[in-house]
Amino acid sequence: MRSNRVTAADIARATGLSRATVGFVLNNTPGQTISEATRQRVLRVAKDLGYHPHPAARTLARGRSNIVVLLLPDWPLGYSLGRNLDEASQALDAHGLTLITQTIRPRTSAHPLWEAVLPDVVMGLLAFPAEEVRRMRAAGVRAVIPDGSDGQFRVDQLTFTDGPAMQVEHLLTRGAQRLVWAQPGDPRLASLAQERYATARRRAEELGHTLETVIVGTDRPMTEPLVVPRAGERVGVAAFDDEMAARVVGSAVRAGIAVPDQLAVIGHDDTPIAALFVPALTTVRIDVSGLGKLMAALAVHSVLGNPMPAVGPEARAQLIVRESS
């Protein structure tokens, strides 16, 4: 049962020093004065022995795991977010924190991750249900972001709401007489889709238009057009994302409907498919440069109590006009 793991005690033994001194050197403990000779000796022996501090022991002693868990929804996450995660991971690492991401799928994860690793912070892109926040806290998680408290930062609001309004504006600029929203049938996307739809609809109504809805199922054959313009009518379709847009455009092209003259379509997310498609899809790119850094800063702030830097994600929706509108 005895493991062959090298512990700080082994180093103490090998150097003839106490565990405490070894600890001070290894942690660069402030407020301690260690002679350079001793310091070097400890570091040398630690290296020779191949010492690795035991994370669990450290966590226990410090009362902090230095782990940050980021819970991601089961969405098709764009390229931009991927880069932001890298950014966040790097920024956290610089403070000795480790980022662990987990994708939350509907009926998966019997045992929540935060009970298995006890992170200092659990972050998410959407607000957590109050009940879940309570459970995390009860399990010992110190900070939950966002935690639903008043005035709290909500990533989703910054990130995902400008786009649909831009879609609607763009379609009207292009002379659309009828507006249709292409909604995904996938229930996993329901909540996000609702938010986007609401934004699009609000903007449409502000501009004196109504917004019809068509549900785009995944199983439906592509041979049948999803949206059919009446004779001489210009229809504009705002799609939940590029895949929905591709389905609308694809089915229209096959049915001989002229895109974009009869049917103008705009997608969302600027996924690779948008640029590749024939005709290339007009879309909205959400650029959240700085989101990763902001998330990292929030986490560092709540763990180490660092002052919150005035970073902010510059979430901006950008119109990418191509051939489908």
Return the number of the residue (162 or 243) whose C-beta is nearest a copy of itself: 243
Pick what 229 binds: a copy of itself, DNA, none; C-beta below 5 to 8 Å, kind-dependent: none
Residue from 289, 301, 204, 221 nearest 255 by CA: 221
Under rule CB under 7 A, residue 304 binds DNA: no
Instruction: Decide: residue 301, CB within 10 A, 0-12 exposed, 13-18 middle, 19+ buried.
Output: middle
Identity of the residue, 33 or 108, whose beta carbon is nearer to DNA in the bound complex: 33
What is the biggest distance separating any 2 CA atoms in the chain, rounded to whole angstroms? 92
Q: Which is nearer to DNA, 19 or 322 (CB)?
A: 19
Which residues, 6 or more positions from 60, have their beta carbon under 8 angstroms from its beta carbon? Answer: none
Helix (H) or strand (E) holding 181: strand 178-184
Binding site for a copy of itself (CB under 8 A): 1, 3, 5, 50, 52, 54-57, 59-60, 63, 65-67, 86, 89-90, 93-94, 96, 98, 100-102, 105, 108-111, 113, 115-118, 138-140, 222, 243, 246-247, 250, 253-254, 272-273, 275-278, 280
Q: Which of residues 40-59 bind DNA (CB under 7 A)?
A: 51-54, 57-58
Choose among a copy of itself, DNA, none what residue 9 binds, the Cβ cut-off being 5 to 8 Å by kind.
DNA
Residue 32 binding DNA, by CB under 7 A: yes
Binding at 73: pick from DNA, a copy of itself, none (beta carbon under 5-8 Å per type): none
Q: Does 60 bind DNA (CB under 7 A)?
A: yes
Determine which residue in the list 13, 62, 254, 316 makes contact with DNA, applying CB under 7 A: 62
Per partner kind, with CB cut-offs from 5 to 8 A, the member of a copy of itself, DNA, none near residue 220 is: none
Closer Cβ to a copy of itself, 83 or 209, answer by number: 83
Radius of gyration of the chain (CA): 27
Tell me which DSSP letter residue 189 carries. G
CA distance 22 to 40: 11
Token pair of 107, please? Answer: 């009926």
Q: Which is nearer to DNA, 53 or 73 (CB)?
A: 53
- Residue 290 in tokens: 């700085």
The residues, any chain, with a CB within 8 Å of residue 152's CB and separated by 6 or more, are 145, 146
User: Using omega within 30 degrees of 0 as the cis cutoff, is the peptide bond preceding 272 cis?
Assistant: no
How is residue 131 annotated by DSSP? H
Contacts of 272 (CB under 8 A, 6+ apart): 79
In the chain the first and final C-alpha atoms are separated, in Å, by 69
Applying CB under 7 A, which part among 4-12, 111-119, 239-247, 283-291 lies near DNA?
Answer: 4-12
Nearer to DNA, 45 or 81 (CB): 45
Nearest approach in angstroms of CB 209 to a copy of itself is 28
CB nearer to a copy of itself: pick between 3 and 35: 3
Count of C-beta atoms within a 10 Å radius of residue 114? 22
Q: Interface with DNA by CB under 7 A: which residues?
A: 2-3, 5, 7-9, 16-21, 23-24, 26-27, 29, 32-35, 37-38, 51-54, 57-58, 60-63
